[in-house]
């Protein structure tokens, strides 16, 4: 291929039931001038073999096999081999609408954009064949550096600036900044933050193309993350530093950051009460009490304006510093999360 417009990059690990659909959704793109760089990250199942079978029939697909090193380094490895003008990052258990790459490419070219951000779908499966779809989108917009910074709070509020896969990245811009995925838990967010930190030309499309699939139990309902609270505190620090770097200090942006913090604090408390958390009850209470006494809690509670009655109620135990009530409340959330995935998805989307 002489004219590779987009390098699609996808790490693969233990997704043999999903990866075929992901690959086929890229093969079906109306834009044909792409290369598909797939990294088999030491997957112990048949994922790598499945990818090889597709590559044999499509010379746009290149498969790299290596020992397991994690998704961040897998993406970084593929970036070193990329030849396209733009990067697109795919997850191997998701899929995309057929006009996605063409529409994003045309927007980038028309506006000389360093970054294109689009809407997406969250498809949450509550049994094998049935799912509920949540729509994440914002109106069409073309931003220069200052207007993007002033309006970024809207994109954060609609979860459009956290994930790497609803975006098209100008490769020259990313590489000139030396940007790569950090080898850390939840690497997506810090990578996107590094991209938007000094970006000067951003296009937002209201159209939705990418289907983020919540289907596997371990991805959403059952997992306990021992380091979640510490990671959320770190992320809050990143947000504060970003807005300080941007020199943006308006009321809307401050409120978004504060609300984001307290909503995630609710999640951190629920994480401790998760049935898969094996900490002794006394240690659970101690961890939750420590979270409630954190230095960021009171300032953020003062500024945050919760959008729903549900979230106002969820924040009451934190406002009152009532550990017992927080535990009881979080156990109810955990029960809904595990037993009624559909209801949990609806409540989460409308929080």
pLDDT for the residue 337: 72
16 and 155 both lie in a single domain: yes
Transcribe 214-267 into DSSP letters.
Answer: E-SHHHHTS---TTHHHHHHHHHHHHHHHHHHHT---HHHHHHHHHHHHHHHHH
211 and 282 both lie in a single domain: no
Please report whether residue 101 resides in a domain. yes
153 and 170 both lie in a single domain: yes
Beta-carbon contacts of 59 under 8 Å, excluding residues fewer than 6 positions away, are: 1
Please report whether residue 19 resides in a domain. yes
156 and 258 both lie in a single domain: no
195 and 330 both lie in a single domain: no
Alpha helices in the chain (DSSP H): 19-27, 47-57, 71-81, 100-111, 145-157, 171-176, 188-196, 217-220, 228-246, 251-273, 281-292, 297-303, 309-320, 323-339, 341-349
CA distance 207 to 203: 12
pTM for the structure as a whole: 0.93
CA distance 164 to 181: 10
Domain boundary residue among 170, 187, 215?
Answer: 215
pLDDT for the residue 220: 45
Please report whether residue 313 resides in a domain. yes
Please report whether residue 322 resides in a domain. yes
CA distance 89 to 85: 14
242 and 335 both lie in a single domain: yes
Please report whether residue 151 resides in a domain. yes
Domain boundary residue among 160, 184, 215?
Answer: 215
Please report whether residue 1 resides in a domain. no
Please report whether residue 60 resides in a domain. yes
Domain boundary residue among 215, 236, 255?
Answer: 215
The enclosing domain of 83 has a CATH number of 3.90.550.10
pLDDT for the residue 222: 58
184 and 268 both lie in a single domain: no
Please report whether residue 99 resides in a domain. yes
User: For residue 264, what are the domain limits?
Assistant: 220-349
Say whether 169 sits in a helix, a strand or coil. strand
12 and 112 both lie in a single domain: yes
- Do the Cβ atoms of 55 and 30 come closer than 8 Å? no
What domain count does the chain have?
2
169 and 255 both lie in a single domain: no
24 and 147 both lie in a single domain: yes
pLDDT for the residue 297: 98
195 and 63 both lie in a single domain: yes
Per-residue pLDDT of the chain (351 residues; tens, 9 = 90+): 568 999 999 999 999 999 999 999 999 999 999 999 999 999 999 999 999 999 999 999 999 999 999 999 999 999 999 999 999 999 999 999 999 999 999 999 999 999 999 999 999 887 777 888 999 999 999 999 999 999 999 999 999 999 999 999 999 999 999 999 999 878 899 999 999 999 999 999 999 999 999 864 444 445 788 899 999 999 999 999 999 999 999 999 999 999 999 999 999 999 999 888 889 999 999 999 999 999 999 999 999 999 999 899 999 999 999 999 999 999 888 777 777 667 666 667 667
pLDDT for the residue 132: 86
263 and 127 both lie in a single domain: no
């Amino acid at each position: 291929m002489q004219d590779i417009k987009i390098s699609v990059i996808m790490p693969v690990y233990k997704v043999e039931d999903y990866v075929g659909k992901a690959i086929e959704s890229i093969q079906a793109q109306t834009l044909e001038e792409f290369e598909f760089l797939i990294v088999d990250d030491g997957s112990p199942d048949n994922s790598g073999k499945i990818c090889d079978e597709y590559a044999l029939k499509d010379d746009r697909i290149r498969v790299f096999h290596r020992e397991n090193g994690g998704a961040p380094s897998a993406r970084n490895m593929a970036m070193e081999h990329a030849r396209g003008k733009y990067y697109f990052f795919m997850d191997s258990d998701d899929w995309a609408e057929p006009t996605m790459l063409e529409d994003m490419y045309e927007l980038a070219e028309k506006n000389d954009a360093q970054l294109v951000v689009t809407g997406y779908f969250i498809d949450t499966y509550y049994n094998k064949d049935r799912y509920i779809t949540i729509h994440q989108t914002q109106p069409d917009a073309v931003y220069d550096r200052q207007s993007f910074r002033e309006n970024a709070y809207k994109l954060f509020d609609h979860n459009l600036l956290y994930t790497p896969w609803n975006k098209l990245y100008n490769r020259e811009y990313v590489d000139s900044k030396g940007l790569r995925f950090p080898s850390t838990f939840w690497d997506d967010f810090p990578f996107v933050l590094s991209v938007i930190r000094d970006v000067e030309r951003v296009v937002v499309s209201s159209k939705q193309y990418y289907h983020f699939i919540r289907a596997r139990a371990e991805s959403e309902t059952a997992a306990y993350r021992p380091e979640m609270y510490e990671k959320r505190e770190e992320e809050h620090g990143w947000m504060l530093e970003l807005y300080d770097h941007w020199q943006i200090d308006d009321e809307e942006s401050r409120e978004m950051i504060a609300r984001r913090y307290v909503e995630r604090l609710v999640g951190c408390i629920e994480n401790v009460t998760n049935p898969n958390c094996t900490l002794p009850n006394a240690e659970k209470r101690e961890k939750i009490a420590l979270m409630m006494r954190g230095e960021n809690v009171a300032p953020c509670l003062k500024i945050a304006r919760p959008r729903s009655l549900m979230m106002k109620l969820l924040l009451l135990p934190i406002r009152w510093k009532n550990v017992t009530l927080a535990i009881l409340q979080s156990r109810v959330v955990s029960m809904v999360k595990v037993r009624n995935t559909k209801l949990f998805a609806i409540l989460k989307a409308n929080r």
